[in-house]
Structure 1
Amino acid sequence: MSDHPSPITHHHPALAIWLTGLPASGKSTIAAALKPKLEALGCTVEVLESDAVRRLLTPTPTYSEQERDLFYRALAFMGARLVAHGVTVIFDATATKRAYRDCARSLIPKFIEVAIECPLELAIQRDYKGTYQRGQRGETSTVPGLQSPYEPPLNPEVRVDTRKVEADAGARMIMQVVKDITL
């Protein structure tokens, strides 16, 4: 036994943050700014980006109602398991229905819903993946906000209007709520 006290390492409790908004609203950019801020608190962080997870679960997605229901239940379950094992999760996923995000909230005790707000016209301008262009050309009929309804959060813990707030400032807004619920 040493006479010196052992150093106390601060372990931040795991939580989940769901960034929801229209495609091309700024979710991925904010997730990228948020991850290192959480890691600086001592969190182990995993970003569950819907396109990446979808490539594994539904390699040829149809985006049907049934497929989306299954996909978002699976995504919420994955996030809940990670949080249960001490990993902080950032969901970078549109999740067109409130029910999808509510499912995750019901499974994860420390849950923050973040509304990434952006008008459709601006999201269309920012669309580097071509999602809206495919919808406008008729190559798909399920683009959220364009052909498929998107249900924005009613009472999110944070609202980030990406017309007015840069990604880093949005990440700082989220971090304030993280600190408030984990202290």
Structure 2
Amino acid sequence: MKPEGLTLWLTGLSGAGKTTISRILEREISGRGLRVERLDGDMIRSHLSKDLGFTKEDRFTQIERVTYVAKLLTRHGVIVIVSLISPYREMRNYPRQHIPPFVEIYVHCPLEECIRRDVKGLYNRALKGEIHRFTGIHDPYEPPDNPDFTVYTKEETPEQSAERILHFLETRLKI
């Protein structure tokens, strides 16, 4: 039996591969004829959270907003793929408590590798002091204690990570 809806919450450092993996998942899930919507951190910041900064309070407000949207979509039979840094465990517990069914996916990548990749140049700017409150540099990232699934993007390609997530979803949730 396929779930009515589902929220996949990808968490990890900037540059870990959340967006790339979420795009692959979106394409693959859509290709199976299922309804899917992707909520990405950059999209959210430019459309839903323009008014927010990067304080802990603002980050939690963003999580609350995304949780609300994801919950509505999930309730209406959509598979929602959220890709947000979501740096604090307590913040990730919020959507877990409010969105059934919810799957937390930890996109694990060491900080040094994220800095090496630095696709957007953000780590470089943060290290120069041009960006304040940058997760992993000035603000902490608390890895999940018990995620539902973990991918290791230093050791595997985005396609391999997405394939492993899809296999997990097929075997555990029958999608």
8 Å CA contact 2:3, 2:173 repeated in 1:
yes
Find 2:30's aligned residue among 36, 39, 42: 39
Find 1:70's aligned residue among 38, 52, 61: 61
CA separation in 2, counterparts of 1:162 and 1:87?
Answer: 26
Which protein shows a greater Rg?
1
| Pairwise CA distance, 1:60 | 5.4
The CA deviation string for residues 23-58 of structure 1, in whole angstroms up to 9 with x for no partner, is 001111111111122123322111100111111233
8 Å CA contact 1:12, 1:41 repeated in 2:
no
Q: Are 2:49 and 1:58 aligned?
A: yes
CA separation in 1, counterparts of 2:68 and 2:143?
Answer: 21
Superposition RMSD in Å: 1.6
| Runs of 4 or more above 6 Å deviation | none
Instruction: Please name the residue that 1:3 is paired with.
Output: none
- Of 31-40 and 156-165, the range deviating more from structure 2: 31-40
For 2:141, give the aligned amino acid. Answer: Y
Scaled by the length of structure 2, the TM-score of the pair is 0.92
Equivalent pairs, count:
174
Equivalences for 1:128-143 in 2 at 5 Å? Answer: 128-143=119-134
8 Å CA contact 2:2, 2:173 repeated in 1:
no
8 Å CA contact 1:17, 1:90 repeated in 2:
yes
Find 2:103's aligned residue among 90, 112, 115: 112
Structure 1 portions without partners, runs of 5+: 1-9
Q: Are 2:51 and 1:84 aligned?
A: no
Scaled by the length of structure 1, the TM-score of the pair is 0.88
Equivalences for 1:142-157 in 2 at 5 Å? Answer: 142-157=133-148
For 2:68, give the aligned amino acid. Answer: F
- Aligned-pair identity in percent equals 33
8 Å CA contact 2:4, 2:75 repeated in 1:
no
Q: Are 2:162 and 1:171 aligned?
A: yes
Q: Are 2:39 and 1:48 aligned?
A: yes
The CA deviation string for residues 108-152 of structure 1, in whole angstroms up to 9 with x for no partner, is 212111111111111011112121112111112211111100011
CA separation in 2, counterparts of 1:47 and 1:98?
Answer: 22
Alignment partner of 2:145: what SS?
coil
- Of 22-31 and 41-50, the range deviating more from structure 2: 41-50
| Pairwise CA distance, 1:168 | 1.1
- Of 172-181 and 107-116, the range deviating more from structure 2: 172-181
Alignment partner of 1:102: what SS?
helix
| Pairwise CA distance, 1:11 | 6.3
